[in-house]
């Protein structure tokens, strides 16, 4: 392949989808970083030539010109989607559609459409996948809170670029919305909510901000202060997302009914879980878990299927909760 062809492909990969855009001067800088020293005039001519074959758009009202791909353009630049990649996009569509606002999904729509066409073109059973797969969330199935698309875009860009962002936000216990500056660490999707994990300037500690409670967002092009040792997986494993009752882990020992709780054998509650078969009807597990509100909810819900062997104080707490509930139902 000629050097010019390689430069064309490299340049096309740098052009974002509308409404984002890139100037010819920015393209010149990025191309130079890739070893292509080209004048802005040459880049302008190249883009004009490529726009006859690719869905490129230009904003001539700015100087230098700003270029972008059409919002609905299919990315059919080689390599084409193969069946596994097309199937992956179909799965992504199924899982993401209930979770993200329409405008956020619109950026992926051309990829989803191309994946669907690829599956239909191929005389392959995979082409029927969209008609044979559905995603159902556990629980009562209530509607997810709506997230402002501008807020989501601001937060994701701040995370990717490691910048601060400014949000208009109202926590549950705040009397009214406040304008806060956030140093973002990560995003956690925990049905039905999306949480921004980070710190708020002027306040101590790592916070969990529920995105649907933010009404406006603005990217601040200032580096965020993210601790080098912060690990999102360790943060989750610490029990922080489970509404911690205390920072001290709990060693939990349960006697469980079969087959009602067999899923605990297949999906252990923790890395150190030890499972012991008792008989055809029961098994026991010992595992270290976070001392969270979620743990109490789960134990209360599974009370007819398991006995709490340890710790005794947690057993008594669950008994008290169940008794209060029974008393209320009877009243």
Q: Are residues 124 and 190 in the same domain?
A: no
pTM: 0.58
Q: pLDDT tens across 10-51, in order?
A: 888 888 878 788 888 888 888 888 888 888 888 888 888 888
Banded model confidence at residue 1, pLDDT cuts 50, 70, 90: very low
Higher pLDDT pick, 126 / 158: 158
Q: Is residue 157 part of a domain?
A: yes
Q: Domain range spanning residue 268?
A: 250-330
Decide if 179 is inside a domain: yes
Residue 303 has pLDDT above 80, yes or no: yes
Same domain, 49 and 114: no
Q: Are 283 and 260 in contact (CB under 8 A)?
A: no
Task: Please report whether residue 143 resides in a domain.
Answer: no
> Do 233 and 296 belong together in one domain?
no
Specify if 144 maps to a domain. Answer: no
Condensed to tens digits (0 to 9), the pLDDT of residues 55-73 reads: 888 888 777 788 888 877 6
| Domain CATH for 40 | 1.10.10
Q: Is residue 138 part of a domain?
A: no
- Tell me the pLDDT band of 131, cut-offs 50, 70 and 90: low
Q: What is the DSSP string of 131-196?
A: HH-----SSS-PPPPP--HHHHHHHHHHHHHTEEEEEEE--TT-SS-EEEEEEEEEEEEETTEEEE
pLDDT at 80 over 60: no
Residue 166, domain CATH: 2.30.30
pLDDT category of residue 7 using cuts at 50, 70 and 90: confident
Look at residue 132 and tell me whether its pLDDT is greater than 70: no
Tokens of 3: 């050097």
> In the structure encoding, which two tokens stand for residue 51, read together?
């726009």
What value does the mean pLDDT of the chain take? 83
Using DSSP, how many helices (H) and how many strands (E) does the chain show? 12, 12
Q: What is the pLDDT of residues 172-225, one digit of tens each?
A: 889 999 999 999 999 888 777 888 999 999 998 899 999 999 999 999 989 999
Residues 261, 314: one domain?
A: yes
Residues 232 and 186 in one domain: yes
Residue 221 in any domain: the answer is yes
174 with 121, same domain: the answer is no
Residue 207 lies in a domain: yes
Closest CA to 254 of 270, 232, 233: 270
The domain total for the chain is 4
Q: Verify that 64 and 88 share a domain, yes or no.
A: no
pLDDT in the model for residue 78: 45
Adjacency order of strands within the sheet including 282-289 = 274-277, 282-289, 250-257, 306-310
Candidates 73, 112, 85; CA nearest to 96 is: 112
Q: Is the distance from CB of 129 to CB of 192 less than 8 angstroms?
A: no
The answer to whether residues 289 and 322 belong to one domain is yes
């Amino acid at each position: 392949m000629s050097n010019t062809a390689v430069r064309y492909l490299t340049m096309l990969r740098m052009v974002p989808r509308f409404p984002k855009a890139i100037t010819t001067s920015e393209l010149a800088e990025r191309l130079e970083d890739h070893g292509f020293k080209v004048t802005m005039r040459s880049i302008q001519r190249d883009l004009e030539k490529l726009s006859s074959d690719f869905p490129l758009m230009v904003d001539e009202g700015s100087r230098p010109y700003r270029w972008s791909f059409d919002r609905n353009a299919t990315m059919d630049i080689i390599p084409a989607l193969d069946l596994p990649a097309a199937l992956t996009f179909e799965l992504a569509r199924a899982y993401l559609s209930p979770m993200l606002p329409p405008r956020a999904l619109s950026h992926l729509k051309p990829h989803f459409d191309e994946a669907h066409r690829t599956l239909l073109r191929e005389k392959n059973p995979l082409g029927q996948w969209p008609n044979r797969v559905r995603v159902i969330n556990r629980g009562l199935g209530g509607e997810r809170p709506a997230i402002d698309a501008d807020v989501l875009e601001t937060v994701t860009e701040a995370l990717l670029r490691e910048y601060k962002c400014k949000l208009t936000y109202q926590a549950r216990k705040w009397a009214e919305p406040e304008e806060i500056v956030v140093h973002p660490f990560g995003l956690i999707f925990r049905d039905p909510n999306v949480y921004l994990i980070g710190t708020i300037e002027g306040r101590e500690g790592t916070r969990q901000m529920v995105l649907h409670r933010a009404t406006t967002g603005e990217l601040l092009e200032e580096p965020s202060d993210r601790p080098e040792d912060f690990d999102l997986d360790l943060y989750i494993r610490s029990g922080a997302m489970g509404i911690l009752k205390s920072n001290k882990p709990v060693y939990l020992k349960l006697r469980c009914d079969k087959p009602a709780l067999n899923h605990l054998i297949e999906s252990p509650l923790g890395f150190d879980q030890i499972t012991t078969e008792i008989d055809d009807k029961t098994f026991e597990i010992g595992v270290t878990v976070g001392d969270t509100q979620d743990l109490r909810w789960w134990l209360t819900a599974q009370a007819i299927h398991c006995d709490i062997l340890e710790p005794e104080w947690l057993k008594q707490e669950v008994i008290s909760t169940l008794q209060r509930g029974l008393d209320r139902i009877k009243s």
